[in-house]
Amino acid sequence: MRCGTVTGSASSDSTLTCHEGDPASVTAHPPVNARARHTAPPGGLLAGRRVLVTGVLTPKSIAYAIADACLERGAEVILTSFGRAMSLTERSARRLGLAGPVLEMDASRPDQVAAVAAALRETWGGLDGAVHAIGYAPEDALGGRFMTTPWESVATAMQISAFSLKTMAQELAPLMEGRGGSLVTLTFDATVAWPLYDWMGPTKAALESIVRYLARDLGSRGIRVNTLSAGPLETVAAKAISSFSDLRDAWQRAAPLGWDSGDARPVADAAVFLLSELSRAVTGEMLHVDGGYHSQGAPAAAHVLEALGE
């Protein structure tokens, strides 16, 4: 599994988890119906909807929380993975109670994405939603090396973390037409610069722009495309970030609603909303799920906060 130590944020699987394995030559397994262990009410928000989720590694993955929330709301879910990450994803799939196999897919390879689309067509006949939680940057593109990063490393980060959304959309859109389809990806607000995030910042900016262009091109086909920008979360990759605790603590102090970096459920619930018919008029949007941190300027001094609490 290719892992870049992404520093500066723990907002999403697409920014701070390993990319889904090595770019090995793999093909999609013919899947079986992937019903989950969850017993959802007949009127669950995603009842009858079929969702593909990428980026699940361990239960700490944000994508895992999203898959779990989708299942709880009545969706059918299939996961993807590849390379050495496959065993981790398969273990998580069993924990989620998924009956079908994990589909092998390197999202940077169009042929493998096309193979997954073909497998989904054979299994489900169509697709209602897909979660793009894929991100990777080489180590020399992170951690304060912005001025010395070679183009080859930038290109790798861009292809895997941003352009792969377009690759997925191209292959999966035909399965979503006429179904009110929804594509959801994960970002870490790239409208500002973050410490040590370096080339993942411009990469996420590209991803956010791709969301808007896909929203433009797919809207006439009834397909929505949106992104979630979460606050820092304690994913597996976050453990490799020496400054994560500082970011987490600063976020909790400054966010008007506070922020629990150990709870990915608010992000997962927002993803459920974007995958559901409740968001039928929402596209091209970046939805912040960060306790309101993005809306603030300089954090208030402690004595001001104490006075407001009296």
Q: Which of 64, 136, 197, 293 is catalytic?
A: 197
Helix (H) or strand (E) holding 164, with range, is: helix 164-176
Tokens found for residue 287: 């939805």
- The residue annotated as part of the active site, out of 136, 204, 213, 293, is 204
Separation between Cα atoms, residue 17 and residue 161, nearest integer Å: 11
Cβ atoms of 180 and 277 within 8 Å: the answer is: yes
Cα torsion 52, 62, 19, 168: sign = positive
Q: What gap in Å lies between CA 32 and CA 191, rounded to an integer?
A: 42
166 annotated active-site: no
CB 221 within 8 A of CB 173: yes
- Whether 204 is a known active-site residue: answer yes
DSSP string, 169-209: HHHHHHHHTTTT-EEEEEE--TTS--TTTTTHHHHHHHHHH
The separation between CA 147 and the C-alpha centre of its own chain, rounded to angstroms, equals 28
Catalytically annotated residues: 197, 204
